[in-house]
Structure 1
Amino acid sequence: MNRLEQSLLSVLQPWCQAPGWLLAFSGGLDSTVLLHLLAGLRRHHALPPLRALHVGHGLQAVAAQWPEHCAAVCAQLGVPFRSVAVQVAEGASIERAARQARYAALAAELAPGEVLLTAQHGDDQVETVLFRLLRGAGVRGLAGMPVQRAFASGHLLRPLLGCTRGELGRYASEHQLRWVEDPSNADTRLSRNYLRHAVLPSLREHWPALDGNLQRTARQLREADELLGELAEQDLASARLAPESPWQALPSLLLAPLRGLSEARQRNALRHFLAPLTLLPDERHWAGWCSLRDAQASARPIWRLHGGELHRSDERLWWLSGDWLQQPAAGLPWQHQAPVLELPGNGRLRWSGEAPSGSLRVAYRRGGESLVHPQRGRRDLKRLLNEARIPVFARDRLPLLYAGSELLAVAALPGYDRVGGEGTQLLWEPPTSDVGLSW
């Protein structure tokens, strides 16, 4: 067993009980070597079922032939193969858009508990660290690519990070492997390629230990990032108390515990909280956090970030995205008192108990509404919402149940969410706050 096989098997060992392995197979040198290594190892070791997926981006004509090549390589090695085509969104960075589309396709293919194997190697890690340094990344970015992380419903594993491009090339030559060459890899207009072809060779000439030094720096910064994460978890513990409300599934934090931290620890805690939800803000955008934190209690401050917004209501921070950023569609009749009523852009309603009779409809607050409680008489809805401390962002989304012009009940308003004040309860399942990040 050569060094590459030994290194690979060592990294793969903890993942040998996974229900399956999925290889991201581009057909290039790196993934071809990884596929060949895996096919060889499974002849002598008990490994999970392996299959390969090729993702076609449709960005260049020559790529149309790659799925056929990949299928032939997999057939020769006895590895199940599938190819999917994706649409790359237009934008400023075609590299980022292609990466997002590729990883979205891989995530859709990955079954629960499975491991996605990708073929990034040590040279890729060096390029990543230097690229992020030039873009002004912080500790987390400069930690480079992790060997493994949670991904979709399983995990992502990069088993070749301890190997070099040169080692992979020598292995491919020794075993007479065939692979495809992506012509875009030579296009130095792309940032990564410019670093690879024009910058790194000169740096390596002057600093021969560059690769090892950058990889060691990345490992040290990853350890520092882990320590910062542990500190953030401690700081967030008291801020993560769940509210008792139908929207408690929304990511939220109490503001008071954060206010008691230093500025640096506030930012660290918020980075940790926001990381699964959005692209993290750069240095200039942290002014939005200060404005959100320091606004008057009567204000409605919002910190707008990539794909979502952080709201403040009643001394609590709420992350809103997806349907929560759109006005729900107009009200609609509740035909025949069906058990469940889907609310376009606003979750669903259902009954707890026997549905009331008569013609009913659901609408949303416009101002001036009032309703009658059997024991409390007629009450102004706006005052009731204030008394119940309903978050401001939710008030215009609360489903209002009408019979004709009479307001019967208000979903999620304690004491007023039952028809007639008792008996049948109106239950609202609000929309979730979608979590969608670039891969």
Structure 2
Amino acid sequence: MKPALPAKLLQSLAPWRNAPAWHIAYSGGLDSTVLLHLLVDLAKTQPLPPLRAIHVHHGLQAAADAWPAHCQAVCDAAGVALRVMRVQVLPGASLERAARDARYQAFAEAISPGELLLTGQHRDDQAETLLFRLLRGAGVRGLAGMPAQRPLGAGGLARPLLDVSRTELEAYARDHQLTWIEDPSNSDPRFSRNYLRHQLFPLLTARWPQAVNALARTAGHLAEAQGLLDELAQLDVQAANQPSGLSWLALPSLSIAPLRTLSDARQRNALRYWLAPLTRLPDSEHWVGWSALRDAKADAQPIWRLADGQLHRCNDRIWWLPTQWSEFSDSPLSWSRPQNPLQLPGNGQLHFSGCAPDGPLSIGYRLGGEIMEVPGRGRRDLKRLLNESAVPGFVRGRLPLLYQGSRLLAVANLARASTGQGDDWQLHWTPPTCDQGLS
């Protein structure tokens, strides 16, 4: 056994020594078997968090049905609790990607707040990732490879073996007479990573013996470059993150004017950073939607449709609307007890401050052509009142309207669109929370 390997592992995991638990992503293969053995051995002499293991069963091949039993036997012998999670891999263009997505979704669900998931990817995997993404035309973030750590669900994910070669892991496994599962699919050249591993890398290393180390080192350089780009993006997003004037509208938004002062490349960098937690991003060839949205006429309301929602421009501001934004019921509702808050199906909650007007009251939504009496101003068209309050077009059909019989009394949250809001009462609308998919 090389003493440097457990010491290197312990050093890389130092920031999480006080985590509530460490979960090992245990496939039963070489990498995760070595990681499990290393951690169990270290726990005999070091005060580590409780160790647990998670085996994800994809059900993609008949041989995999025997793997949970093998993993259970190894974990029982090591004194580590094992959780077997069965997932359904959705069909798609890439079986590899679909399986990975299902696996990490299961991991995210399995770990509790503050806990850490440990995976066994190593230096060779990092080199393969860089080359694979390079051939797909990835940008700096993609070419930075797999991060050594990142958030996952309510906890975090760490890859403590990224600086360890596959050769070192194989030597450790032989020295300790470990047994592991050989996945038959790992030799199938139809999968891109297997082709790189078994066909291309032997040619590269025959000519350049240090190719794996060099590629992994390049990924590290690119990760550092991406960190600098992120720092620049933080400054640019902060400059554009000005108040919207609609504090009740809890949707991510940015002022477009500060973004226009930046170069095109810097604009894209800032938007990638801002949109990354919200949606999957397009590749570099499909950013024409941003240019069209940015350069549209001032009175236009352009939309840029992305994978998980839409980016709208309104009143010289861009707003992010997730896909779920349109999923609500616009059927009228009676409000028989206005002293209590009213839950709107898929559209948050209404409540009064002050004494509510006399009933019967009901809630409806805009159909077009509504007229209301505004004290001191006479009859006013609702569209004009909404324009005066600079309400974005995408939210107008969602604003609750308060009726007394057939008479329109008020528009929620808009004091200038009311027959009597002021000292007596006000109608407040709280849109759905972030957990409901609206920010």
Which residue pairs with 2:108 in the alignment?
107
Equivalent residue number for residue 318 of structure 1: 319
Equivalent in the alignment of 2:54: 53
Q: Which residue of the partner structure matches residue 189 of structure 1?
A: 190
Please say if 1:75 is aligned against 2:93: no
Match of 1:131 in 2: 132
Give 1:163's aligned residue. Answer: 164
Q: Does 1:384 align with 2:385?
A: yes
Taking structure 1 as reference, are residues 170 and 338 closer, same or farther at Cα in structure 2, changes over 3 Å only? farther
Shift, 1:20, TM fit: 1.7
Superposition map of 1:16-55 within 5 A: 16-55=17-56
Checking the alignment, whether the CA contact within 8 Å between 1:129 and 1:142 is kept in structure 2 is: yes
Deviates more, 1:422-431 or 1:141-150: 422-431
| 1:246-395 equivalent positions in 2, closer than 5 A | 246-326=247-327, 328-337=329-338, 339-395=340-396
* CA separation of 1:434 and 1:284: change in aligned 2, threshold 3 A: farther
Deviation of 1:242 (Å): 3.1
User: 1:246 deviation in Å?
Assistant: 4.6
Cα distance change, pair 52–244 in 1 and its aligned pair in 2 (3 A): farther
Contact residue 348 and residue 432 of structure 2 kept, 8 A: yes
Q: CA deviation at 1:134?
A: 0.2
Matches within 5 A, 1:201-280: 201-280=202-281
8 Å Cα contact 2:25-2:32 kept in structure 1: yes
Contact kept in structure 2, 1:148 and 1:155, CA below 8 Å: yes
Contact kept, 8 Å, 1:322 with 1:433, in 2: the verdict is no
Counterpart secondary structure, 1:180: coil
Name the SS of the counterpart of 1:65 in structure 2.
helix
Q: How far has the Cα of 1:69 moved from its partner?
A: 1.9
Structure 2 counterpart SS, 1:317: strand
Residue type of the alignment partner of 2:390: R
Q: Aligned letter for 2:12? A: V
What's the RMSD between the two structures over aligned residues? 2.1
Deviation readout 1:322-364 (Å, 9 max, x if unpaired): 3214464433333544733332332232333455453332221
8 Å contact from structure 1 (residues 401, 407) kept in 2: yes
Unaligned runs of 5+ in 2: none
- Secondary structure of 1:238 counterpart: helix
Cross-structure match for 1:143: 144
SS in 2 for 1:242: coil
Q: Give the Cα–Cα distance (whole angstroms) in 1 for the partners of residues 221 and 401 of structure 2.
A: 55
Given that 1:308 and 1:325 are in contact with CA atoms closer than 8 Å, whether structure 2 keeps it comes out as: no
The question of whether the paired residues in 2 share the 8 Å contact of 1:321 and 1:435 is answered with: no
1:377 is displaced (CA, Å) by: 3.2
Letter matched to residue 178 of structure 2 = L
Aligned mates of 1:335, 1:377 — CA distance in 2: 28
Distance 1:340 1:72 in 2: 55
Counterparts in 2 of 1:253 and 1:43: CA distance versus 1, 3 Å: same
Change (3 A) 1:25 1:357: farther
2:113 and 2:154 in contact (8 A); partners too:
yes
TM-score, normalising length: structure 2: 0.93
| Separation of aligned partners in 2, 1:169 and 1:100 | 27
Aligned to 1:410: 411
CA contact (8 A) 1:374 1:420 kept: no
The whole-number CA distance in structure 2 between the counterparts of 1:212 and 1:231 is 29
- The residue type equivalent to 2:171 in the other structure is R
Distance in 1, Cα, partners of 2:320 & 2:125: 34
In 2, Cα distance between equivalents of 1:211 and 1:265 = 32
CA–CA distance in 2 between the matches of 1:9 and 1:352?
57
What code does the residue aligned with 2:386 have?
Answer: L
What is the CA–CA distance in structure 1 between the aligned matches of 2:217 and 2:248, rounded to whole Å? Answer: 44
Secondary structure of 1:414's counterpart equals strand
Letter in 2 for 1:219: G
Instruction: Give the aligned residue type for 1:424.
Output: W
SS of 2:142's partner is helix
Contact 1:337 1:357 in 2 (8 A): no
The AA in structure 2 aligned to 1:77 is A
Q: For residues 99 and 199 of structure 1, what CA distance do their matches in structure 2 show?
A: 23
Cα 1:247/1:109, change in 2 over 3 Å: farther
Which residue type is aligned with residue 47 of structure 1?
L
CA distance in 1, matches of 2:385, 2:96: 51
What is the TM-score normalised by the length of structure 1?
0.93
Give CA-to-partner distance per residue, 1:68-111, whole Å, 9 cap, x none.
22222212111122111122222111211221111111111221
For 2:12, the equivalent position in structure 1 comes to 11
Percent identical residues: 58
Shifted more, 116-125 versus 275-284: the winner is 275-284
Corresponding residue for residue 199 of structure 2: 198
One-letter amino acid matched to 2:331: A
What is the DSSP-based 3-state SS (H/G/I as helix, E as strand, rest coil) of the residue aligned with 1:95? helix
Deviation at 1:418, TM superposition (A): 8.2
Q: Distance in 1 between matches of 2:260 and 2:144?
A: 28
User: Is the CA contact (8 Å cut-off) linking 1:309 and 1:321 kept in structure 2?
Assistant: yes
Contact 2:55 2:85 in 1 (8 A): yes
Cα shift at 1:37: 0.7
C-alpha distance in structure 1 between counterparts of 2:436 and 2:188, whole Å: 34
Residues 245 and 412 of structure 1 are in contact (CA less than 8 Å); yes or no, is this contact kept in structure 2?
no
Q: Is the 8 A contact 1:20 1:115 kept in 2?
A: yes
| Structure 1 residue runs without a partner (length 5+) | none
The answer to whether the 8 A contact 1:277-1:435 is kept is no
Cα offset, 1:189, TM superposition: 1.0
Give, in angstroms, the shift of residue 311 of structure 1: 0.8
Offset at residue 391 of structure 1 (A): 1.2
Residue 133 of structure 2 corresponds to residue 118 of structure 1: no
Alignment partners' CA distance in 2, 1:271 and 1:264: 11
Alignment-derived partner of residue 97 in structure 2: 96
Could you tell me how far 1:46 is from its partner in structure 2? 0.8
Q: Secondary structure at the match of 1:22?
A: strand
What number of residue pairs does the alignment pair up? 436
- The one-letter code of the counterpart of 2:57 is G
Letter in 1 for 2:243: A
The amino acid across from 1:162 in the alignment is D
